Chain A
Amino acid sequence: MPVSVKHDYPSEADETLVKWAQKGDTEAFEQLIFRHRDKIYARALMMMRNEDQALEYSQEAWVKAWQRLAQFQGESSFATWVTRIVINLCLDQLRRQKRVRTESIEAMDEESGGVERQLPAPETNPTAGLEQDELRRRIDEALGKLTDAHRTVVVLHEFEGLEYKEIAKRVGISIGTVMSRLFYARRRLAFLLQSLKRERSE
């Protein structure tokens, strides 16, 4: 007579849960979702700047992760793997909505160097004195003020650690455009964070 073994899912490592999930254990998969859902949702929210879309795409990412579990071989962490799935979903949506590749006059100007030279260079310690949570919130606000195209390259480079070449491939733009968008975005962020400092000193 087979003996039923009840796993203690919360105490297991991701690697073990992934192996069980790959064998069809939905409880193991649910535990993985419970552990990493906020990170996946946060990444979708950072890309889309819309809570409903972030919720939808984060859930869709988990569905795709389940369908592709057999392909996960552990080259990266499981959370990184699912994060890449949600990023690809968001990029698809942004492309569909023409939010990352549309070259507005302003963006063209920025990328040709017409605007960024009028913006401040990143200043040393522009946010000194801010509480950590407040700083995090202000950085999020500043990211929200970037265009989708500029924010996307910042997210992929700074938070996902992708190289220019990989960003170009994923977004569907040239490496030169990645570089100029990243440069403009950083200077814009520096400008926005600098203005926070001014707000505090007034």
Chain B
Amino acid sequence: MKHTEHRPLEPLLDLQAYVDGELSEDRRRQIEAALPSDVDARELVQGLRQLGTLIRAHEPVATVPVSREFYWSQIRRQIEADSQAERPQAPAASAALGWLRWLIPAMGVAAVAVVVATNQSPREMTLAGGGDVTVVDVTSTVFRSESDGVTVHWIQ
């Protein structure tokens, strides 16, 4: 205390920078040249070095205050949550969903069209392919192809 309390701050910071290896080569040489004749500076340098050595050698330690399993489970849960949130939709799935967005209304329109067409014509008619269309009621239409052995139900 007695050595440094009246000294300006700048030279003290220079001495500290010298201890920390933060000075230019020229400045380092200047300080080394001045130290033998400056008792106060020498004591400050020695004190700073000892303090640094002391606290680095006795770095405070601490133990996680919860069990390993609990600590990890919270981390894992967060990792999984982040992974879910950031997972991009697969391109193929997106494409399929895109098609579905168009396909479902289109199917509805087609179904309505079939019902309207069959309601405006005889309730039974023969198709070119040899099948027939039977209107069961206003909201249900069945297409059956005898040659292909296929029956399609349109429900409106």
Contacts and interface: CB of A to CB of B under 8 A. Distances in A.
B43 interface: yes
Interface of A: 26, 30, 33-34, 37-38, 41-42, 45-46, 51, 54-55, 58-60, 62-63, 66-67, 112-113, 116-127, 132, 135-137, 139-140, 143, 154, 157-159, 163-164, 179-180, 182-183, 186, 189-190, 193
B74 interface: yes
6 contacts: A33-B75, A54-B62, A55-B65, A112-B9, A164-B20, A180-B13
B22 interface: yes
Contacts of A159: 56, 59
B44 interface: yes
Contact of B68 (A34, A66, A67, A123): A34
Contact of B82 (A30, A67, A122, A154): A67
Given A55-B65, A58-B64, A136-B58, A121 B9 contact: no
B103 to A, nearest CB: 36
A127 B54 contact: yes
B96 interface: no
B63 interface: yes
B101 interface: no
Contacts of B71: 33, 37, 59
Contacts, number: 122
A136 B3 contact: no
A122 B19 CA distance: 13
B55 to A, nearest CB: 5
B50 interface: yes
Nearest to A113: B9
A18 B53 CA distance: 32
Interface string B38-59: 0000011011101110111011
A60 to B, nearest CB: 8
Contact of B12 (A38, A63, A183): A183
B52 to A, nearest CB: 6
Nearest to B15: A183
Contacts of B51: 122, 186, 189-190, 193
A37 B64 contact: yes
A123 B60 contact: no
Interface in B105-122: none
Nearest to B19: A186
Contacts of A37: 64, 68, 71
Contacts of B62: 38, 41-42, 45-46, 54
A42 B60 CA distance: 8
Interface in B74-104: 74-76, 78-79, 82
Nearest to B14: A179
Nearest to B10: A113
Contacts of A62: 75
A63 B8 CA distance: 47
A117 B58 contact: no
Given A117-B6, A183-B9, A183-B13, 12 more contacts: A30-B72, A42-B61, A55-B65, A55-B66, A59-B71, A122-B44, A122-B47, A122-B48, A143-B60, A179-B17, A182-B20, A189-B55
